[in-house]
Amino acid sequence: MKTIEYLYYLSPAEQDRLRVNIYKEKNEILQFVIQYEAEFSGRWHPVIRYDTRHGFAHRDRLHPDGSTEKEPLPWESYNLALIYAAQDLKYHWQKYRQQYEEEIYESG
């Protein structure tokens, strides 16, 4: 099994990043985690996480209060789920950041 791990910065100020962990054999994804993290006040916060933990591909929306919303993805293929997850986070990270930031200020 091959492991691929890296950080991918989304913003020039490096306050937004993707944390990627992929486990594959040949061309088949066996497991993955791709997580959007945002920095607020010098601290990194996980905001959205796509992963295959629990035996199925899903998205976790993480909230500042520690709660999580889990949404299953419609693909049985982890390859397709990973492609979707990466595209979603690269295209929508600014929206996810804004929503999370609004929650921080509403609770604080």
Q: What is the pTM of this model?
A: 0.94
Amino acid in the structure at residue 93:
W
Sequence spans of domains, the chain = 2-107
The strand ranges marked E within the chain are 2-9, 16-25, 28-40, 43-51, 58-62, 68-72
Cα 28 to chain center, whole Å? 20
Residue listed under structure tokens 């492991």: 3
The pLDDT tens digits for 44-92 are 999 999 999 999 999 999 999 999 999 999 988 999 999 999 999 999 9
User: How does the average pLDDT of the chain come out, rounded?
Assistant: 95
Alpha-carbon span 90 to 96, nearest angstrom: 11
